[in-house]
């Protein structure tokens, strides 16, 4: 039920899936399978990188961080979605909603920044191969990674505080599968101008800067690859970068479309579909994209799984 005027909201109702009662159980099975494949796929990449000495390089160090994010990000939303589908309760406490929003935005932001760092890493590796080990050192890798996580969580803290300082005294029905900034801000009965401008300006500047850095890096990468004489070298360089660029387009395009838009342009049905793409589908696809196009990862995953199977049989 809604919580109306003169009553403080103590919980929110997530109605993103409540209008599909006839397909509740099929949706539960679909989301459970997707979540399972997400955990297994990203876990396999982490296992391969952790056990294969040949993969202990900066590129795979960043890939391991991406796999961690692809495990954590859906884990903030999918378990609650599965619970709601199974029980039909659809409620989440005020504090639970704030925490879910905080960790979701933090992890999404961290992944956006990490993808830019990965693009910079490929830029240095391809454009300055002889100086790569001098520029991308172990210390620099740790600094860049720590910076992306710190920036993502600090950015989320600002948005979470801005969102939940608003007054909620009218409807408590969140038109989404989980708590996210646009649908929660839309419920406020106080002025949302500051919160909306903060989303547009800060997310616009940080998001646009991250993707600008990514595409500038790839502009120089492509220019360098086209100048290579060796056909094999070109194919290897394109194969390495194509996976990352595909992930950037899938994840980056949907996140920018979600956050960097005025509230008047938000459509509940369209926003639900887009949120599924970047919050549920893309984390499952990332291991497939990287393993299918990378023979080293594919071989390492196969060896790690075979070794684990042999240990279980002993």
Q: What confidence tens digit (pLDDT) does each residue in 153-184 have?
A: 999 999 999 999 888 877 788 888 889 888 89
Spatial separation of the C-alpha atoms in residues 54 and 76, rounded to whole Å:
32
Region 20-312: CATH code: 1.20.1070.10
Question: What phi and psi values does residue 4 have, to the nearest 5 degrees?
Answer: -100, 180
Q: Is the dihedral of CA 290, 247, 156, 117 positive or negative?
A: positive
Cα angle 171, 99, 81; round to 5: 70
Higher pLDDT, 299 or 164: 164
Res 66 pLDDT > 50: yes
Report the pLDDT value the prediction gives residue 281, as an integer from 0 to 100.
86
Backbone angles phi, psi at 93, to 5 degrees: -65, 160
Given a cut of 90, is residue 4 above it in pLDDT? no
Q: Distance (Å, rounded) from C-alpha 81 to C-alpha 312?
A: 33
| pLDDT over 70 (residue 152) | yes
Least confident interval from 100-114, 130-144, 278-292: 278-292
**Using one digit for the tens of pLDDT, what is the confidence trace for 245-297?**
777 777 777 777 666 666 556 666 677 777 787 788 888 888 887 766 677 77
- Exposure b/e, 112-144, CB count within 10 A at least 16 = b: bbbbbbbbbbbbbbbeeeeebeeebeeeebeeb
What SS3 state is found at 12?
A: strand
Q: Where are the domains of the chain?
A: 20-312
Is residue 65 left, alpha or beta, with left meaning phi > 0 and alpha meaning psi from -120 to 50? Answer: alpha
- For residue 3, name the pLDDT band (cuts at 50, 70, 90): very low
Q: With b meaning 16 or more CB within 10 Å and e meaning fewer, what string describes 150-171?
A: ebbbebbeebbebbbebebbeb
DSSP 18-64: TT-GGGHHHHHHHHHHHHHHHHHHHHHHHHHHHH-GGG-SHHHHHHH
Q: How far apart are CA 162 and CA 145, in angstroms?
A: 26
Distance CA 260, CA 262 (A): 7
* pLDDT for residue 39: 94
**Of 301, 250, 274, nearest to 52 (Cα)?**
301
Residue 116 has pLDDT above 50, yes or no: yes
């Amino acid at each position: 039920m809604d919580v109306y005027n003169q009553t403080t909201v103590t919980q929110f109702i997530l109605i993103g899936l409540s209008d599909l009662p006839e397909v509740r159980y099929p949706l539960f099975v679909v989301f459970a399978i997707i979540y399972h494949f997400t955990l297994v796929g990203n876990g396999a990449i982490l296992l391969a990188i952790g056990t294969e000495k040949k993969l202990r390089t900066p590129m795979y160090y960043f890939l391991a961080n991406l796999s961690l994010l692809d495990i954590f990000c859906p884990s903030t939303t999918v378990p609650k979605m599965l619970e709601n589908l199974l029980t039909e309760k659809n409620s989440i406490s005020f504090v639970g909603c704030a925490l879910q929003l905080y960790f979701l935005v933090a992890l999404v932001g961290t992944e956006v920044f990490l993808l830019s760092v990965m693009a910079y890493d490929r830029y240095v590796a391809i454009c300055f191969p002889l100086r790569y080990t001098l520029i991308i050192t172990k210390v620099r890798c740790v600094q860049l990674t720590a910076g992306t996580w710190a920036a993502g969580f600090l950015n989320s803290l600002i948005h979470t505080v801005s969102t939940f300082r608003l007054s909620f005294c009218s409807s408590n029905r969140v038109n989404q599968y989980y708590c996210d900034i646009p649908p929660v801000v839309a419920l406020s009965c106080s002025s949302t101008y500051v919160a909306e401008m903060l989303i547009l300006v800060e997310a616009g500047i940080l998001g646009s800067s991250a993707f600008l850095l990514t595409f500038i890096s790839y502009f120089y990468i492509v220019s360098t690859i086209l100048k290579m004489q060796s056909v094999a070298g070109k194919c290897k360089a394109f194969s390495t970068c194509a996976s990352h660029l595909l992930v950037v387009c899938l994840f980056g395009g949907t996140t920018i479309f979600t956050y960097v838009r005025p509230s008047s342009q938000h459509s509940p049905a369209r926003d639900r579909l887009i949120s599924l793409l970047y919050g549920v589908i893309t984390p499952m696809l990332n291991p497939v994209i990287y393993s299918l196009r990378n023979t080293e990862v594919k071989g390492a995953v196969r060896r790690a799984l075979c070794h684990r199977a042999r240990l279980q049989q002993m």
